[in-house]
Structure 1
């Protein structure tokens, strides 16, 4: 039994029912929190060392590393009960969706840095870093998270049964149309 299963089993019945209904979302959030820490740590190490004048590049690099970790954790844990796609097709879709997500996460940082010019010497070191954190890791991650959860669930790790049900409904509708026109 996994750690999450043990925690969910100890919840009061109404909360347990809610957690059971949103199990994938809870696991997705745990993976997100883990990769957030990885992303944040790598970003600031890069930004305060070799990428001090290129925060957007540092954000894209840290985001890319976090995406690789995210793929492994989401594939093997969050969406382990889903599938139906070949692994290479699934990986291609995951990295395409995640690449868009990394761009969405970097966009507010770019606006903050180059449109609003919240960079030194225009602002203090502290203001620059607070602006970077808010734009890249709060606004950017909210944009990325909403897009990625929807896209992962819909296209990358689809529910195989839902696809079969949709296909069946399409066939039924097709047959009804043909019978109605006969």
Structure 2
């Protein structure tokens, strides 16, 4: 959510400014920008796309339904808030590896040669897993570590620990500023 301020001079140069606190702009600055446009917080479909965008090419097990669910659950979150959630979720597999007390051997692509399949890659597991080997991540050879991929539970855990940074008071101030000086986007 932000305000975009647009001004054009006689040379054809476009000046664009953005702020989340437009009410602190003095009248001289407001006069120099011909348009003041309110850009609201993203809607559910945009938030859904933002989760996908922030994950990029990172391996994950999220489905389209998972992404839609995240989009619905993040009403009131800004694009920056969603970025924080995704960055935190990307760290969840690292945390799993670091806190694991047991690993198990799995069949997976070699990290050194993606064309080679290894039967002895090690990934974190619960102590109750029938193939569990008691060890910590420091005991696992670097070329044998298979880090878990990011999943829906990682995103949900990060979402539960991340609150939106925009509050109702800020939204009311923006609404009032738009009524007094701005335009809807």
TM over 0.5: no
Q: TM-score, normalised by structure 1?
A: 0.28
Name the one with the larger strand percent: 2
Name the one with the larger helix percent: 1
